[in-house]
Amino acid sequence: MNVQVQGVTTATVTLAAPILREATLAGVILATLAAAGLAQISMNVQVQGVTTATVTLAAPILLEVTLAGVILATVAMASLAQISMNVQVQGVTTATVTLAAPILREVTLADVILGTLATASLAQISMNAPLDATGAPPTLTASIP
């Protein structure tokens, strides 16, 4: 990744498997940023089955949002979290992420992403208590119009 002179941040992310952007929480975030004119995305699937996403963001402050989303998606690929998504009739996409309890502290970077999106009016967020009495893992729900 590098920060360019004009205040445009470019991040290149290589995923361990060819995954559709739309199938990951990071993809939802990137697609939302792109739709808002805040990012440009190019995807390129290489022969060895490695997917590379290059994202050019409109402001440096969006970098941590995107990278944290990709980290979260990568954690899900490693079976440390489960991501489910459903598109509602009104055109609002809801992505629900269930985190594995042992890595709770490392994965709560999701708090930062979703909080930043909410501050930018790009998402509405609901979150339950970090762990309940039974020790069940947390669930983050982001509704992205």
Overall number of domains in the chain = 1
Residue 102: give the domain boundaries: 2-144
Q: What pLDDT score does 88 carry?
A: 40
> What pLDDT digit, counting tens, does each position of 26-76 carry?
555 555 555 555 555 554 444 444 444 455 544 433 333 444 444 444 444
Answer whether 0.85 is exceeded by the pTM. Answer: no
pLDDT in tens, 75-105: 444 444 444 444 444 444 444 444 443 333 3
Q: How confident is the model at residue 35, as a pLDDT?
A: 59
Burial 76-114 (b: 16+ CB within 10 A, else e): beeeebebebeeeeeeebbbbbebbeeeeeebbbbeebb
Per-residue confidence (pLDDT) for residue 78, from 0 to 100: 46
